[in-house]
Amino acid sequence: SAVISQKPSRDICQRGTSLTIQCQVDSQVTMMFWYRQQPGQSLTLIATANQGSEATYESGFVIDKFPISRPNLTFSTLTVSNMSPEDSSIYLCSVRLAFYEQYFGPGTRLTVT
């Protein structure tokens, strides 16, 4: 299994600012993922972040809005840039350890005012 921590756990930000979310894993993993969960909705994959390569973004998500860093095998950051109220969501980090299991962090609850 994997223990994943995220910082901050929640934040309230003003429109037009940026927030960087940190994800720390207790073991080395190749593949990390970032998801968004809008209020009352299911999870949507934002991007896949592999160490040593550029992140791969899903349709509807762009690097300028959600830049991702993956400096090593246990850490990643997601930045939500130039925020608007529509960015208010829970952002979750996830890792894949085995071929069939993914583990999720507790999420970062973001409110944009």
Residues that bind another protein (CB under 8 A): 4, 31, 33, 35, 42-45, 48, 56, 58, 92, 94, 96, 99-107
What DSSP designation does 85 have? G
Q: Closest distance between another protein and the C-beta of residue 23, in Å? A: 11
Q: How buried is 58 (Cβ within 10 angstroms: 0-12 exposed, 13-18 middle, 19+ buried)?
A: middle
User: Is the CB of 75 or the CB of 104 nearer to another protein?
Assistant: 104
Q: Closest distance between another protein and the C-beta of residue 9, in Å? A: 10
Give whole-number Cα distances, 29 to 6, 22, 96, in Å.
16, 15, 7
User: Is the CB of 13 or the CB of 45 nearer to another protein?
Assistant: 45
Chain center to CA of 12: 17
User: Is the CB of 26 or the CB of 82 nearer to another protein?
Assistant: 26
Nearest CA to 81 out of 71, 91, 73 is that of 91
Q: Closest distance between another protein and the C-beta of residue 113, in Å? A: 21
User: Is the CB of 11 or the CB of 58 nearer to another protein?
Assistant: 58
